[in-house]
Structure 1
Amino acid sequence: MEQLVFSWIDYLLFSSLLGTSLLIGIYFGFFSKQDSVSEYLFGGKSMGYLPVATSILASLLSGITFLGVPTEVYLYGCQYFLTVFNTIATGALTAYVFIPVFYNLQISSTYEYLELRFSRATRRFASVLYVISLSMHLPIVIYVPALAFSQATGYNLHLITPLLCIVCITYTSMGGVKAVVWTDTIQFIFTVGGLSTVLAVGVYSVGGFFNVWKISGQGGRLDIFDFNPSPFVRNNFWSMTIGTTFSSLSHSAVGQKFIQRYLAIKSLADINKAVLFKTVGTVIIDVMCTYAGLVIYTQYYNCDPISAKLISRNDQIVPYYVMDITKNLPGIAGVFLAGIISSALSTMSAGINTLSGIIYDDFIEQRMPECPEKDARAANIMKVISVFVGLISIALIFAIEHMGTVLEMSYSFRGAADGPLLGFFLLGMFFPCVGKKGAMTGACVGLSFMLWVVVGAKWHMLYNPKSPDTKLPMSTANCSVVANETIFEKTVLPTSKAYEEPMILFRISFLYFCLVGTVITVAVGVAVSYIVGESNSTKVDPDHLTPIMRR
């Protein structure tokens, strides 16, 4: 492991990316108009659909995708491939069900819709949920590339994360959404270039496509159509299609981070083009990441670096693999890691920009006195909020190091809030019989239940480290004798604490968290509205309903 480190070419490529991102932020901060809310959050609503779609794609496909998905496939098989179905369904629903409502109302925040449909209190409650959800997600996003960089260079993880965050905070707070969109576009080129290069080198190193397919099949990595209906199975057909669809809808179809940039496009037709571009791009990248996991398995099927203790965390398998296969090809590891850093910075910058807008719109704007300078002052306030949010993200990074793989952390932490949030919008757009009391009650019940499930599951994980593992088998037959002896000694040591089975709800697959929260919110909301007499649908403005429900 001591030999697998960056060369000067790798450092040059990596630093070039960070420098380019900073220069873009400085340019838009000093030489582009950023003195109003519309300019800072929506770029004056004059952005082209192609850079916006690329920006959305770049921020959607964070390091969680590029490191988490190959790791998931390496350990559990390529069931993740089934998420292409949820990606297609999410794209269609976004374009034809949710976007028309937001576009016709021309609102600055998706949560402004909830105020129009239900009440001011509903809007603030949803905004708080989203702020918490996204704030918990951002540290995971930046932790992933920091972990990879630490693996590749030997620098301390806790020194790297503040550096990356400071770069991102600087160009986001200075340049607004224009800087976010254009840095995302450039960073996306690094990301896709790095992944494509590593895939090409990796496939060549293991003997070609058909060898990958053969060895992966022998290792059980291609068994994806598991129709077991149990919600307690970590990965199966239903969790990867239906379960992940609800999570995707909560993030992409009603999440402010994405809707804000869709609404920066002038026409609805161009917005739909952006949705199509984002959907196709996501499918392609997901397939590439899934195949990358199979290539890594083919490389290490008879000497697993995790079992051999060559790496300390599951999520280090991808950077270890990249450094291993490119150690004689200077620059390729730098390109790949620049791509991972790019994806993280694009996701974090979009999140910071979104949170600054929500916090200002929902909690500060009403307290601002009316004056000619109000709009310019608002833009400056949002820049300060961006810095504050970024600093909080840096602090939270140190609290997430012992919570499982990054993919699992991402779905688990956000699942508690994402279900009630999606439930709010489904109640508003699909159920004209539901009023503000039903919506608030449903969301509160859904949130309380999911917090109990998520916290309980994580608590059990922390205090039962010897829980049965569902990872697919790996071999260490070709590892060194020392490594095998270490594994043997660790395997035969008696455990001091027997595994305790958690209660049934704590065993629900994390991929179902958003689905469960959404269903509870909708069911309770409809029932409460019926009981308290809020079911007069004639009082609902048809513009607040999705087009397919207006008749």
Structure 2
Amino acid sequence: MMDVLGSVDMIVLAITLLISTSIGIAFAIRNRSNKSTDDYYFGGRKIHPIPVAASLAVSFVSAMAVISLPVEIYLYGSIFAWNVVAQLIATMVAVIWYVPLYHRLNITSVYQYLEWRFNRAMRMMASICSCINLFLYLGLIIYLPALALSATTSLSLHAAIPITSLVCTFYTSIGGMNAVVWTDVLQCVVMVCGMLGAFVMAVKEVGGFDEMMEAAYRGGRMNMNKFDLDPRTRSTFWSLVIGIGLNSCYQTGCDQVYTQRYLSCRNTRSARIALLLTLIPGIFFTMICVGNGLAMYAFFEKCDPYMSGDLDKVDQLMPTMVVALFQDIPGMAGLFVAAAYCGTLSSVSSGINAMSALILHDFIKPCSVGFEKKTEYVLATSISILLGVLIMALAYVMSFSSSSLVTIFVSFSGWIAGPMIGVFTMGIFMPWVNSKGAVFGFVTGWIAVGWIGLSAMMSPNLYSPEPMKGKLTLSVDSCRDGNLTNNMSKVKNDTDFNSTNITESSWITKTIYSVSPFWYSAIGGLVCLFVGNAASLVTGRNKSSKINAASNADENEDEET
């Protein structure tokens, strides 16, 4: 591909990366005399709620919001806007129950709670699954901005991946939580500017807001009233509010990335304020993603560049539109690519810091006789560096995937989120559930969802072809000839192949394997709760008096306030 980012664009991108790196160096110098893991992982537990809120908001928004979520709206419509309700539910659940619990326990790993409530085996399993989930997620989102850079410059995808990995690994490993939080603030601002700039320019290009909405109605993208109860339909009100809602509850209540930020605040009140403030940028990011997706559909209404063969991957749609929009405006295309990079930098730095904390506190320290303060700090930074290298390697693997990255992430995340929210729910609200029930429930929920997800992903032509279950129509009517004829023949053959398989496939393929990945969290959670309660009943359920009082969110609050 020819270079489409000019010198001004590259300067904008370079300045963003340079400032992020400088923040890490600044905090490394500032904290050189206070090298402790408490400062490295929790910023000394005294960070102000406002920067913590910005950090929370962008930690899981990432480049997914900048590049891939608009593609989700482009393909499946504005129904995704119901994600706002899911965010609200998850935030309130965490504010009411999880935040005060974790501050009262003053934990370093969120899964310490599971050891106190159940046993060490439960803590280890949960921590391992969380690390796997984070590892896969970070590999995906490192790949995304590299995809944007390769789509807008002559730099190859495999050359762009190390740039992203090295920058965020560097400032995270040397600066710790303070560097992560304050770079997140910068990156939040850049993401807002980049995404908003793309939306405003796209609306202007298609003839105004009314023209964009008319195109969305013509293409069936204004489908907010989709209350279909069929779980095989990819995106509905129910799958988003319940399925994605449970996924969000896992993030806000059971995830180390969020928990570390709660504990970096001075007290429960500050942490609650920080979490509530995340709703403002969170809702904005969701709505601007919907807007960019609709604007992108209006822009490509008559010629979808992926179907026409001009693009190799569907996730290149957003960078392609931005390049076309800003080719005569120096710096703006660079700002968008910088926004994608900022999304990834924020998420990867948060994830590396969180995984490093889990590995150190859940696996290394319990098996050792104790470390000196300096040794523990060196271990923390070394683990962060190693994780950065491994995640970069995973991003290379992800670059060979042809699936939509939103689908991949939701599938993987659902395998972990459902059973995890299930076991935390049993721990906090079901005192009769014992350790055997928790372990059996968690493992069974994970196996059930993993079986469904893997079967679906390994048989893409057998499980619910998306054109039949939610994907909206696209047009190539106004495309130039080029690769169009061959590509349309390929699309037709693929569709015929899918239809044949659906007709001839088994009952289980047409039902269970066809469930929308947005429901995976709900399935895993329900299986975990059912098996956990049943196993506890069979093996002898707990008596309330036997439960460690420290693990209960409501006990001893007055004494410790």
Which residue of 2 is the match for residue 288 of structure 1? 288
Which residue of 1 is the match for residue 336 of structure 2? 336
Q: Which moved more, 1:181-190 or 1:31-40?
A: 31-40
TM-score when normalising by structure 2: 0.93
Which residue of 2 is the match for residue 499 of structure 1? 501
Select 1:530's aligned residue among 537, 548, 557. 537
Q: CA deviation at 1:75?
A: 0.8
**1:400-479 to 2 correspondences below 5 Å:** 400=398, 401-402=400-401, 404-461=403-460, 470-479=470-479
Aligned amino acid, residue 397 of structure 2: A
* Matches of 1:496 and 1:540, distance apart in 2: 56
Change (3 A) 1:76 1:25: same
Aligned amino acid, residue 524 of structure 1: V
Instruction: Tell me the percent identity.
Output: 29
Q: CA deviation at 1:367?
A: 3.3
Change (3 A) 1:81 1:524: same
* Matches of 2:525 and 2:465, distance apart in 1: 32
* Matches of 1:177 and 1:210, distance apart in 2: 44
* Matches of 2:181 and 2:492, distance apart in 1: 54
**1:106-145 to 2 correspondences below 5 Å:** 106-145=106-145
* Matches of 2:158 and 2:10, distance apart in 1: 19
* Matches of 1:134 and 1:72, distance apart in 2: 22
1:93 and 2:93 aligned = yes
- Counting matched residue pairs gives 547
- Contact conserved, 2:463 with 2:510, CA < 8 A, in 1? no
* Matches of 1:426 and 1:393, distance apart in 2: 31
1:444-473 deviation line (CA, Å, top 9, x unaligned): 111111221121111112788987564211
TM-score when normalising by structure 1: 0.95
Which residue of 1 is the match for residue 368 of structure 2? 368
- Contact conserved, 1:420 with 1:518, CA < 8 A, in 2? yes
* Matches of 1:49 and 1:210, distance apart in 2: 39
* Matches of 1:465 and 1:426, distance apart in 2: 32
* Matches of 1:86 and 1:468, distance apart in 2: 26
Which residue of 1 is the match for residue 323 of structure 2? 323
- Contact conserved, 1:403 with 1:409, CA < 8 A, in 2? no
* Matches of 1:258 and 1:142, distance apart in 2: 20
Aligned amino acid, residue 223 of structure 1: N
- Contact conserved, 1:265 with 1:271, CA < 8 A, in 2? yes
Change (3 A) 1:156 1:455: same
* Matches of 1:525 and 1:387, distance apart in 2: 38
Which residue of 2 is the match for residue 395 of structure 1? 393
Which residue of 2 is the match for residue 167 of structure 1? 167
Change (3 A) 1:117 1:345: same
* Matches of 2:377 and 2:117, distance apart in 1: 27
Which residue of 1 is the match for residue 378 of structure 2? 380
Q: Which moved more, 1:411-420 or 1:478-487?
A: 478-487
Which residue of 2 is the match for residue 206 of structure 1? 206
* Matches of 2:4 and 2:132, distance apart in 1: 37
- Contact conserved, 1:25 with 1:175, CA < 8 A, in 2? yes
1:242 and 2:242 aligned = yes
Q: Secondary structure at the match of 2:278?
A: helix
Change (3 A) 1:389 1:492: closer
* Matches of 2:325 and 2:3, distance apart in 1: 10
Q: Which moved more, 1:438-447 or 1:458-467?
A: 458-467
Q: What is the RMSD computed on CA atoms of the aligned residues?
A: 2.1
- Which runs of 5 or more structure 1 residues have no equivalent in the other structure? none
* Matches of 1:418 and 1:32, distance apart in 2: 35
Select 1:510's aligned residue among 510, 517, 528. 517
Q: Secondary structure at the match of 2:231?
A: coil
Q: Secondary structure at the match of 2:103?
A: helix
Change (3 A) 1:115 1:466: closer
1:293-315 deviation line (CA, Å, top 9, x unaligned): 00111111112112221211111
- Contact conserved, 1:4 with 1:327, CA < 8 A, in 2? no
Q: CA deviation at 1:543?
A: 4.5
Aligned amino acid, residue 533 of structure 1: G
**1:206-225 to 2 correspondences below 5 Å:** 206-225=206-225
- Contact conserved, 2:307 with 2:488, CA < 8 A, in 1? no
- Contact conserved, 1:38 with 1:44, CA < 8 A, in 2? yes
* Matches of 2:307 and 2:533, distance apart in 1: 50
1:55 and 2:55 aligned = yes
